[in-house]
Amino acid sequence: MAADVTTTQADPNTRLTDTLCTSLRRRQIVGSLNVALATAALVQSIVRSAKYSTIDELLALIKSVGRKLIEANPKELAAANIIRRILRLIREEYRAAAARQIDSAPNSVPSTPFMGPSTPGLNAPLDHYLNASNGGQYFPSTQASRQTSLSNFVAMRHSRAQMEKSGAEGYSANTVNLFASPGGPVRSSSGSGTPAQPSRVDSDEFMKHSAKLKPLLVQAIDEVVGELETTHEDVAKGAREHIHSSEIILTMGHSRTVEFFLKQAYKDRKFTVVVAESAPSYLGHSLASSLSSSGIPTLLIPDSSIHALLPRVTKVILGAHSVLANGGLFALSGSLGCALAAKEHAKPVVVPTGQFKFAPAWNLYHEYGAVDFQGPGAVIGELGKGGGGGTEGVEVVNPYYDYIRPELINLFVTNEGDHPPSYIYRLMKEAYDDEDVEL
């Protein structure tokens, strides 16, 4: 036990990981963006100070950190999303460095084989094509006929195909055995036991230059952090294309992405915003105050009035906590009722969100099965704080988030463009590697 405590104190990365896990477990860090930034900072610190001899060791270390964060709070999917994104970037930088090393190695790629006699250009003299022995008749010589006959052309093509195949196999062997032990036997790519030519780029040679990878990896993570910090502005760039003048927009809660989206749209369009107060958190109050201070006409209503006002509303804009692969999403508690009412009145539902919230997970449980719950004190009141402290035999359900099915959503507006719910799985396929879906 004492040895474990000493190891934890000696390793700053372990201490930082445990601190972040504790914060997630106690919900001291709330919100997808805050969780994503904290996760990226932790991984960046690990990449800077970690000691590893192969890239697989670094990937395994980052994956172990991701598993700890997921275990600390499985409902904060943004942490795992950032881990997957960074793992993909590390592999891309590593492959690029390996490709540069192969290209810089001598004779790493076979030269182009000889393709037969050169062909004269279009401006060649006329007598070049005439055979003097035939009295200047326009017939090729016997030697030229043998060189350019169809059978010789097919033979040359077959020879070229064989040489290209052998060259590709050699290149593939170099790539596969890039980090094989120097001097050891290298087996051919055909799977036979006969040893092939040793790899021209061995592990020692590459690892001499692998120290240059660490700054590249840190820079790649910096780009992820920069993208996260500008997510709100990037999503809001297309706001004027989705909101038109004289519209009445309904929203609820206080999503920073939705706030930036509405403020950016109001620079070019004049509209009115109706904000539901979103009890019991009442986050709608802070959003209404922020929009009103920016000069946007804002109306604050209780949640019970949503259904009554929807016939006058032209569009519903909701924030998202996380987006799943099937196009469904988790949003602030109360958003499900708002989306169902919009479906009933045939009003479009638009969700502005950053692409870092896209999680390669499917909601295979009951709609409440993957929803996080909080204490009932905010609903029934706590004893001595204006409430009766509850009644025996009464069960109070107070979820943090609602699960909204994909058929209730019309469009996702992201920092990478606009996408329908049916296309979300394709975006995740492009953003994450298949081997990282399960950390």
Q: Write out pLDDT tens, residues 28-48.
A: 888 899 999 999 999 999 998
What are the chain's domains? 12-101+208-217 (1.20.120.420), 231-376+396-431 (3.40.50.10470)
**Sign of the CA dihedral 273, 274, 276, 277?**
positive
Q: What is the pLDDT of residue 210?
A: 57
The pLDDT tens digits of the residues spanning 271-304 come to 999 999 998 889 999 999 999 999 999 999 999 9
The answer to whether 93 and 59 have CB atoms below 8 angstroms apart is no
What count of other Cβ atoms lies within 10 Å of the Cβ of residue 412? 27
pLDDT tens-digit series, residues 97-142: 878 777 666 554 454 444 444 444 444 444 444 444 444 444 444 4
Residue 161: CA count within 13 A, CB half-sphere: 6
How distant is the alpha carbon of residue 331 from its chain centre? 20
Q: How confident is the model at residue 85 (pLDDT cuts 50, 70, 90)?
A: very high
pLDDT of residue 167: 42
Asked whether the beta carbons of 221 and 40 are under 8 A apart, the reply is yes
> Residues 29-42, buried b or exposed e (16+ Cβ, 10 A)?
beebbebbbbbbeb
Looking at per-residue confidence, does 206 or 178 come out higher? 206
Per the structure block, which two tokens stand in for 101?
């090393």
Q: Which neighbouring-strand residues pair with 418?
A: 413
In angstroms, the CA 221 to CA 228 distance is 11
Determine contact, residues 416/427, Cβ cutoff 8 Å. Answer: yes
Please tell me the predicted confidence (pLDDT) of residue 388. 53
Q: Which amino acid is at 340?
A: L
DSSP-based three-state secondary structure for 402: strand
Q: For the sheet containing 315-317, what is the strand order?
A: 298-301, 272-276, 248-252, 315-317, 349-352, 411-414, 417-419
Report the percent of the chain where pLDDT is more than 70.
68
Between residues 196 and 83, which one has the greater pLDDT?
83
pLDDT value at 190 more than 80: no
The per-residue pLDDT for 121 is 45
Q: Is 405 exposed, middle or buried (0-12, 13-18, 19+ CB in 10 A)?
A: middle
Q: What is the pTM of this model?
A: 0.71
Residue 363: how many other CB atoms lie within 10 Å: 18
Predicted confidence at residue 397, as pLDDT, reads 81
Do 249 and 314 touch, CB atoms closer than 8 A? yes
Rounded Cα–Cα distance for residues 209 and 124 (Å): 51
Q: Tokens 């990365």 identify what position?
A: 13
Task: Give the mean model confidence (pLDDT) for residues 12-18.
Answer: 90
Structure tokens at 311: 């016939």
Distance, in Å, from the CA atom of 387 to the CA atom of 398, rounded to the nearest integer, reads 16
